[in-house]
Structure 1
Amino acid sequence: MGKPFEPPSDHGGIESVELKAALEERYLAYALSTIMHRALPDARDGLKPVHRRILYGMRLLRLDPNTAFKKCAKIVGDVMGDFHPHGDQAIYDALVRLSQDFAQRYPLVDGQGNFGNIDGDGPAAYRYTEARLTEVARLLLDGIDEDAVDFRPSYNGEKDEPVVLPGAFPNLLANGSQGIAVGMATSIPPHNAAELCDAALYLITHPTATSEQLTSFVKGPDFPTGGIVVDSAEAIAEAYRTGRGAFRVRARWTREDLGRGAWNVVVTEIPYGVPKARLIEKMAELLTERKLPLLADVRDESAEDVRIVLEPRSRTVDPVVLMESLFRLTELESRFSLNMNVLVSGQVPRVVGLAEALREWLDHRRTVLQRRSRHRLAQIEKRLEILGGLLIVYLDLDQVIRIIREEDEPKAELMRYFQLTEVQANAILDTRLRSLRKLEEMELKREQAALTAEKADLDALLGSEALQWKSIAAQVRAVKKTFGPETPLGRRRTTLENPPDTSDLDLAEAMIEREPITVIVSQKGWIRSLKGHVADLSGVQFKGDDALKLSFPTETTAKLLVLASNGKVFTLDAAKLPGGRGFGDPIRLMADLDEGTDIVTVWPYRAGAKLLFGTIDGRGFTTGSDGLVANTRKGKQVVALDGAAVVTHCVEVGEGDHVAACGENRLLVVFPLTEIPEMARGKGVRLQRYRESTLAYLTVFKLAEGLTWPDSAGRTRSVVGEELAKWVGHRGTVGIMAPRGFPRSNRP
């Protein structure tokens, strides 16, 4: 056996740390880095660091809107080498998105070449594409060389990069932003710049304005791809107040008439962020899976503009119903979430409302105005000092030349002789000979007067908050004029409408392909459907000793009503019935039938129909079928029962005006239908009185046409007119023996 292991006494510089503390420290550092330097935009300029570095790098390359394009490879290389060491593809992807007019409401980069498309296709490689800044980007960068913002060293310390851009454009809300950090995310939709400017101007004059008040200017999002926002004004106002919510965006469509009653639906705008190719591919899949029964075909006829043609299955289809079904199943309607989580003052992540977001931008613009004004003031003071020296020496230029030619230290002699400052002496020594002829006294005095007046204005501006806000308001108005509603870029693209009223549309029925079927119900309560309207059911097989109870033709879009002997009515969807290849399924699996309860009858629901219920003890009432439809498996209790009574009959009233009731004792009574009350639910009234019998037969007919029934030989027998008169009486009576030929079973 060897010696037990002993740790070395010298730790060799290794430090023991607790794993939990180390993980927390490192994860916190990662989380802060993601939040501050990657995912969340700054509330002041609306940019993330990668976008800010791209724009600043392009500014250093002098890629202004009126200059020539440069290769994106050059831009990406410079940005990666100087400011953003996170991979060329990440930088190029961000650059591409800044140029896409379907992704950015106001593009910051003007691209030349293949920069992708709305179908979701990617851009060409950066060696093939070129770019330059747009006017919007120029506004964001305006004044960056005038000490408008702070700078910090880049990642390698070789250059300085701006902490934030001056931001003369309300970019945060105008272009929106999306990002996922650690433990938080941001999602801000694009908005209309002119509306934002109106809201900002109102906020300048009303500093305490609320987000609800500002929604009178900012109606809602304005997506680059257009579309329709179908949220209520109250919901939009609440979302802007809290900074959290969601917007329902729908495609814009029109009905295109093809003549002779034929028509198509043409979609011209799709929701923001939905790739058109993926949208059409999904619709085609649903079409193949027969989940869009109202739609026959979908075609993409887009060129520069979106044009998706939807061909209906039939010209009788309601286009509104067609589109509502597509909105439910496809991305023709999508939800864009609102989570205005931004870096306030560039440091604190917080969810802000509309008013606070605009206030952050305006306060930043005021800071930029003050810094640029001080920078300009310092330049003016320096120039005025130089002009003062030039005016002093102007009258004796010959002495200046002599001192420069003859003195060993001309600067010191100039300062002594003319009482100049060092700055003034340096300016005179740096003046070229060719410039001496331009040193005219009037010109120098004119420049001095202009600069003095400008200095006075800047001093007044810096000393007055009111003048500062007046200057900012003028800048905002200039932005609004540039991007006003009358300009192609500034015109609102997304319209706002109230939520559609679909209460009268049966979308569930619209989603089912309408086909004829025959419903079969067996004696033991098994149900199934056969395709088509089948008249001959002799070949239908049943399980064991089961047999046919009833059958009727209907369609797959119909609802079926099932009456149970305990007085409950259940609702089934015809489309969900099992097929006719097997024996079907028990109705008990589709509805919550009580133990010992039998199925009385099943019939297709018809809107507005009137029905007559009858119980075994001879009670009954009429009711409308519309109140019988139930949305749950529990059904609706319609008939109230006494003791051991059960429901035995349900007949449709139709155009009948009299009721015929017959008991097991073969006593028949006929009375007017008006004697039976119409009720939503209840016990009903006495139809026929019995001593030791029960209700066996119940029907509704027209008295003028007589009472008709088939006999055992298959012939039709009837009692009409005076022959029927002796049975006509009032409800609740015992009745008279049924006429000759009435079936012995008392059940025609």
Structure 2
Amino acid sequence: MTKAPQDPKIEPQEHSEPLRRAIGERYLTYALSTIMHRALPDARDGLKPVHRRILFAMRELKLSPTSAFRKSAKISGDVMGNYHPHGDAAIYDAMARLAQDFNVRYPLVDGQGNFGNIDGDNPAASRYTEARLTAIAEALMEGLAENAVDFRPNYDGTLEEPVVMPAAFPHLLANGSSGIAVGMATNIPPHNLHELIDGCLALIKHPDLPDAALVDLIPGPDFPTGGVIVEPRASILDSYRTGRGSFRLRARWAVEDLGRGQWQIVVTEIPYQVQKSKLIERLAELIQTKKTPLLADVRDESTADVRLILEPRVRTVDPDMLMGTLFRNSDLELRFSLNMNVLIDGRTPKVCSLREVLRAFLDHKREVLQRRSRHRLEKIDHRLEILEGFIITFLNLDRVIDIIRYDADPKRALMAEDWGKKHRRATSEKDYVPPAPGEGELTEVQAEAILNMRLRSLRRLEELELIAERDALMVERAGLEDLLASDALQWKRIGKDLAEVQKTFGKASKGGARRSTFAEAGEAEEVPYEAMIEREPITVICSKMGWIRAMKGHVALDSEQKFKDGDEGRFLFHAETTDRIILIGSNGRVYTLLGANLPGGRGMGEPVRLMVDLPNDAEIIDLMIHRPGLKLLIASTAGDGFVLPSDEVVAQTKAGKQVLVVREGVKTALCRPVKGDAVAVVGDNRKMLVFPLADLPEMARGKGVRLQKYKDGGLADATTFVLAQGLSWKDPAGRTRTETDLAEWQAARATAGRMAPRGFPRDNRFT
């Protein structure tokens, strides 16, 4: 089969480049797109592209605060079709968030319908909700029609959209922002608008204002859901100086007296971005798992306002102690991180300080003022040109009428006429003001305007109004020229505009007052967990397979208990809910369980491995109640051991605490309380050794020292006893036997020992 010849005019579309460079360039393009067009807000208007396009599309739909509502589906559809070619669900979610007063400090969208709630419920579908702009959103876009900002073509080049909004106030800090880009992220909390404008006015008056003075004016965030900020001022100052940090935020609560000594705690404000339903679930879990025994019940009585009821278990509980426990174990307190990573001039990502963010806004505000002033100058010049033509018409009205009436091309004739040589045919010649040199001819704009005049305008009153309008515009023009020529006048005008915004949307307006307050956290007293538990008797039952449970009360230890098929009982002892239960694993680690946290005794219990991180290949060597001040003898199967203080065996985490260091193939053999002054050790070879307890070191962690020497096998058992009272054990018949003459087995530690006495148990165990 012959290969068809290739047309020499067609060049192959193949291009070779290293894979590293190809992937690198494409990933860099994606990263820049994510950073600039999706995740990071612009420092000038505080908006991301999707939010900017939503507001602009709503403006184009004429959805002002006084207009009727429009379907959200219509709005998101217009945004997607005209400016933002992405999913309508993402657009609607972004728009819905702008309407949620619990997420946005100053909502930009006025929603009608179900736009979600603080419980975490999602908004209704876009076909069910309606929306329009809020007054403060209009303030963000004020000046768009006056060339205040640049416009760029939309994604398909059929329309234009603003590059940035004019922004009448520092929206970036007012509503905050959050986003995750490629290799960077941003998280900015909302602030109080009144305080932000105070800071801006102070920076205008004193550009070198110290950071401490600026933080005095802007003391911290102001969250939509309120709460109490307990972050120290020094930490807040450092966060605003560097642009990175965090703020501790707590729920607002109060004690409500119920009479007769009864009381309850009422939570009226929860931390920002905490879903109330999830918070209640967490509190209920703490109650169920008994991690906060001081709390008896949680109840949600919220309507439009948050109202969570926390009931104490007993009325003698200190409310501060109870809340301190809840703050540590739930989202009633959280840390809101600050990372002011924003786009400077819409291009460069940078972590900015509070001063730099406000300065970026003020510089943008000045540029907007200059552009709007120049635009207004152009409009005034155009209007003055037309007004001069109208005034000339009134001064030479008869000649203008003749030209319009009889000339075949009145526009060209009007432009060709030298109006400087004409005079007004009127009785009051003293009112005539001749045109200035060079103003005798009409421009094309003036001639067109004259031809478009209505006959009803040709009256004396209209002429006087034109002259008054011209004089007023001339005064305004002179003021604009002075404004553009003077930096001081520009900053004064910006300050005046900001003061007007502050008056409209500041603390005196509805919802403008500060919601989050400040307080000192105080050092909460660490209360032992056991002190918060109601002391009750329990019977701890643990099976051979590691299923553990606690029955209420002290059940008879010889009573029959139920276990799973193939399982049987191993540990059974009386304890109390306040007791710590120590579990010794064969891996040399000790674990701590709390009696109050053990599962109830109605069923078969739960595997202990779900409560602590005991490996599957590790066995339970012993289970005992922790008694402070006791000494324990711990030893490995290799015959090494030491005396362990009981205070060292309490573990604070599920992972436990390594106490006995064992090598591969060696396990923990035993861990028993120390009683007496002597140690008896027996090996798998049935050789027994007795030596003084003082020969063993007291350690908190380690391998220990050699107890007994073996040629074959290892340690079988060990015990401590009072040498003068003798060593006791049970013989094969179940009778207790005591050996007082132990001289035959007494020797130095780490020796081999001698064969156990006659009648010693076959399993080589002392107990």
Same fold per TM (> 0.5)? yes
| TM-aligned CA deviation for residue 302 of structure 1 | 0.7
Matched-pair contact (CA < 8 Å) for 2:45–2:171: yes
1:116 equivalent in structure 2: 116
The answer as to 2:570 corresponding to 1:515 is no
Matched-pair contact (CA < 8 Å) for 1:98–1:107: yes
Q: Give the secondary structure class of the aligned counterpart of 2:459.
A: helix
Question: Quick one: which amino acid aligns to residue 266 of structure 2?
Answer: V
State the distance in 1 between where 2:449 and 2:43 align.
Answer: 43
Q: Give the secondary structure class of the aligned counterpart of 1:145.
A: helix
The answer as to 2:497 corresponding to 1:475 is yes
Matched-pair contact (CA < 8 Å) for 1:559–1:571: no
1:370 equivalent in structure 2: 370
State the distance in 2 between where 1:86 and 1:601 align.
Answer: 64
State the distance in 2 between where 1:282 and 1:105 align.
Answer: 26
State the distance in 2 between where 1:592 and 1:192 align.
Answer: 64
Change (3 A) 1:507 1:118: farther
Change (3 A) 1:142 1:591: farther
1:102 equivalent in structure 2: 102
Change (3 A) 1:113 1:560: closer
Structure 2 alignment gaps of length 5 or more? 420-440, 542-547, 561-572, 583-589, 606-619, 651-655, 661-673, 678-721, 725-767
2:759 equivalent in structure 1: none
Q: Quick one: which of 424, 444, 455 aligns to 1:433?
A: 455
2:359 equivalent in structure 1: 359
Q: Give the secondary structure class of the aligned counterpart of 1:350.
A: strand
Matched-pair contact (CA < 8 Å) for 1:600–1:648: no
1:616 equivalent in structure 2: none
State the distance in 2 between where 1:161 and 1:243 align.
Answer: 31
State the distance in 2 between where 1:575 and 1:187 align.
Answer: 43
Change (3 A) 1:137 1:19: same
State the distance in 1 between where 2:633 and 2:142 align.
Answer: 72
Between stretches 215-224 and 423-432, larger displacement belongs to 423-432
Q: Let me know the Cα RMSD of the aligned residues.
A: 3.9
1:92 equivalent in structure 2: 92
2:694 equivalent in structure 1: none
Matched-pair contact (CA < 8 Å) for 1:321–1:510: no
| TM-aligned CA deviation for residue 129 of structure 1 | 1.2
The answer as to 2:607 corresponding to 1:585 is no
Matched-pair contact (CA < 8 Å) for 1:252–1:269: yes
Question: Quick one: which amino acid aligns to residue 585 of structure 1?
Answer: L
| TM-aligned CA deviation for residue 212 of structure 1 | 3.2
Change (3 A) 1:175 1:536: same
State the distance in 1 between where 2:495 and 2:85 align.
Answer: 39
Between stretches 327-336 and 46-55, larger displacement belongs to 327-336
State the distance in 2 between where 1:556 and 1:18 align.
Answer: 68
State the distance in 1 between where 2:597 and 2:137 align.
Answer: 62
Q: What pairs up with 1:221-232 in 2 under 5 angstroms?
A: 221-232=221-232
The answer as to 2:380 corresponding to 1:380 is yes
2:710 equivalent in structure 1: none
Matched-pair contact (CA < 8 Å) for 2:187–2:337: yes
State the distance in 1 between where 2:442 and 2:52 align.
Answer: 45
Q: What pairs up with 1:329-478 in 2 under 5 angstroms?
A: 329-417=329-417, 418=419, 419-437=441-459, 440-478=462-500
Map Cα deviations across residues 320-365 of structure 1 (whole Å, 9 max, x no partner): 2221221222111122111100000111001001000011111110
State the distance in 2 between where 1:602 and 1:44 align.
Answer: 60
TM-score (norm 1): 0.72
State the distance in 2 between where 1:182 and 1:599 align.
Answer: 52
Q: Give the secondary structure class of the aligned counterpart of 1:54.
A: helix
Q: Give the secondary structure class of the aligned counterpart of 2:116.
A: coil
Structure 1: which 4+ aligned runs deviate by more than 6 Å? 7-11, 517-520, 528-540, 558-561, 570-574, 576-583, 586-596, 599-603, 631-635, 646-649
| TM-aligned CA deviation for residue 13 of structure 1 | 2.0
2:294 equivalent in structure 1: 294
1:614 equivalent in structure 2: none
1:201 equivalent in structure 2: 201
1:505 equivalent in structure 2: 526
1:62 equivalent in structure 2: 62
Q: Give the secondary structure class of the aligned counterpart of 1:216.
A: helix
State the distance in 1 between where 2:257 and 2:658 align.
Answer: 44
State the distance in 1 between where 2:169 and 2:69 align.
Answer: 23
Matched-pair contact (CA < 8 Å) for 2:575–2:625: no
Q: What pairs up with 1:642-661 in 2 under 5 angstroms?
A: none
| TM-aligned CA deviation for residue 472 of structure 1 | 0.6
| TM-aligned CA deviation for residue 433 of structure 1 | 2.2
State the distance in 1 between where 2:459 and 2:218 align.
Answer: 59
State the distance in 2 between where 1:143 and 1:36 align.
Answer: 24
Question: Quick one: which amino acid aligns to residue 368 of structure 1?
Answer: V
Matched-pair contact (CA < 8 Å) for 1:591–1:634: no
Matched-pair contact (CA < 8 Å) for 1:529–1:577: no
Matched-pair contact (CA < 8 Å) for 2:389–2:446: yes
State the distance in 1 between where 2:265 and 2:633 align.
Answer: 43
State the distance in 2 between where 1:530 and 1:402 align.
Answer: 114
State the distance in 1 between where 2:503 and 2:200 align.
Answer: 14
State the distance in 1 between where 2:49 and 2:34 align.
Answer: 11
Matched-pair contact (CA < 8 Å) for 2:232–2:520: yes
Change (3 A) 1:355 1:599: closer
2:190 equivalent in structure 1: 190
Matched-pair contact (CA < 8 Å) for 1:325–1:510: no
Matched-pair contact (CA < 8 Å) for 1:141–1:167: yes
| TM-aligned CA deviation for residue 601 of structure 1 | 9.4
| TM-aligned CA deviation for residue 69 of structure 1 | 1.3
Change (3 A) 1:648 1:445: farther
Matched-pair contact (CA < 8 Å) for 1:136–1:169: no
2:318 equivalent in structure 1: 318
1:247 equivalent in structure 2: 247
1:487 equivalent in structure 2: 509
Between stretches 531-540 and 420-429, larger displacement belongs to 531-540
Map Cα deviations across residues 432-461 of structure 1 (whole Å, 9 max, x no partner): 223223763322211111001100110110
Matched-pair contact (CA < 8 Å) for 1:394–1:439: no
Identity %: 57
State the distance in 1 between where 2:65 and 2:645 align.
Answer: 81
Matched residue count: 590
Map Cα deviations across residues 237-292 of structure 1 (whole Å, 9 max, x no partner): 11111111111111111111111122111111111111111211222233233333
Question: Quick one: which amino acid aligns to residue 393 of structure 1?
Answer: T
Q: Give the secondary structure class of the aligned counterpart of 1:326.
A: helix
State the distance in 2 between where 1:392 and 1:263 align.
Answer: 86
Question: Quick one: which amino acid aligns to residue 451 of structure 1?
Answer: L
The answer as to 2:303 corresponding to 1:265 is no
Change (3 A) 1:382 1:62: same
Matched-pair contact (CA < 8 Å) for 2:631–2:643: no
Question: Quick one: which amino acid aligns to residue 97 of structure 1?
Answer: R
| TM-aligned CA deviation for residue 44 of structure 1 | 0.4
Question: Quick one: which amino acid aligns to residue 87 of structure 2?
Answer: G
| TM-aligned CA deviation for residue 111 of structure 1 | 0.7
State the distance in 1 between where 2:283 and 2:450 align.
Answer: 78
1:700 equivalent in structure 2: none
2:763 equivalent in structure 1: none
| TM-aligned CA deviation for residue 204 of structure 1 | 0.7
Map Cα deviations across residues 97-130 of structure 1 (whole Å, 9 max, x no partner): 0011001000001111111111111111112211
Q: Give the secondary structure class of the aligned counterpart of 2:456.
A: helix
Matched-pair contact (CA < 8 Å) for 1:291–1:511: no
Matched-pair contact (CA < 8 Å) for 2:63–2:70: yes
1:167 equivalent in structure 2: 167
| TM-aligned CA deviation for residue 233 of structure 1 | 0.6
